[in-house]
Amino acid sequence: MKGKIKFHSIYYRYPTFIILLVIAVAKFIANGNDILIGYSGQEISIGLDQLNYIVLGFILSMWIIFSLVKYKLYICKDGIYLRKIDLLVKWDEIEGLSHVWINEWNNRLASRYFYNRKTLVIYRKEYKPICIYNISLLSLYIGKLYCPKLRTNIVLSSMATLLNLGLNAWVFCQLYFAGVESMTMGIFFTWLGLFLLKIIILPLLLTKLENIRYGDHLYHDNLYKKNGSETVHL
């Protein structure tokens, strides 16, 4: 099929941001001085210029490595193809297309984490919806481009994504580029409020509105149940 646009998993952005945040915090604490790392009884000194190259190289490496991973879906003029289950969902079979955040909670001792999975939801007319986890918002725009009459939540999901990107960029830039003296309690508590909005309120709002629109299909993870959504999980 010609004109197909492939989408890969964006999960790599989560550990990438965590690692960059750790680097930014280390630079923030160093406050203009070299960063000292102890290893095998020796100290390694990393200058600020070296750190900039490390950050840039790390971001480029992660992007290149994960761009080579197999794609999860592609969108074309005929519909949305899902590689894992070898299924083409045609446009006339789709009732709506949404991009929501579904919280994933892992409470295993070996790997505890909490993560907002960026999820593309395909609502089919005669079958269960399909959740494709860790997919970029761009997929919603491409779907709308190929099928303009498609029902989407493009406005709210775009606003949520802009908040997410803006908050992450603000936190990283504040810690990485600004000095210790620039940090205030007002900034810190603003971050706490915005992260509460991002982690809890927005995911609940996005899924609630879609459940009102299409029926109760989407549910977040909790301590006792994973992948509780009544959908096909990919």
H/E segment holding residue 73: strand 73-76
Helix (H, G, I), strand (E, B) or coil at 196: helix
Residues 210-221 have pLDDT tens digits of 999 998 988 887
User: Quick check: 150 and 143 in contact, CB under 8 A?
Assistant: yes
Output the six-digit token pair for 89: 């969902």
CA distance 179 to 4: 46
What's residue 103's pLDDT? 86
What's residue 29's pLDDT? 75
Burial bucket for residue 145 (CB in 10 Å: 0-12, 13-18, 19+) = exposed
CA distance 93 to 227: 24
Residues 46-103 have pLDDT tens digits of 666 676 777 777 777 777 777 677 889 999 999 999 999 999 999 999 999 999 998 8
CA distance 172 to 185: 17
Radius of gyration of the chain from its Cα atoms, rounded to whole angstroms: 21
What's residue 130's pLDDT? 94
Residues 121-142 have pLDDT tens digits of 999 998 999 999 999 999 999 9
Strands 130-133 and 232-233: parallel
pLDDT at residue 150 above 90? Answer: yes
**Which residues, at least 6 apart from 55, have a Cβ–Cβ distance to it below 8 Å?**
20, 23, 176
pLDDT at residue 38 above 70? Answer: no
Residue identified by tokens 């096909």 is 232
Rounded to two decimals, the pTM is 0.85
- SS3 for 19-72 is HHHHHHHHHHHHCCCCEEEEECCEEEEECHHHHHHHHHHHHHHHHHHHHCCCCC
Residue identified by tokens 């930014």 is 24
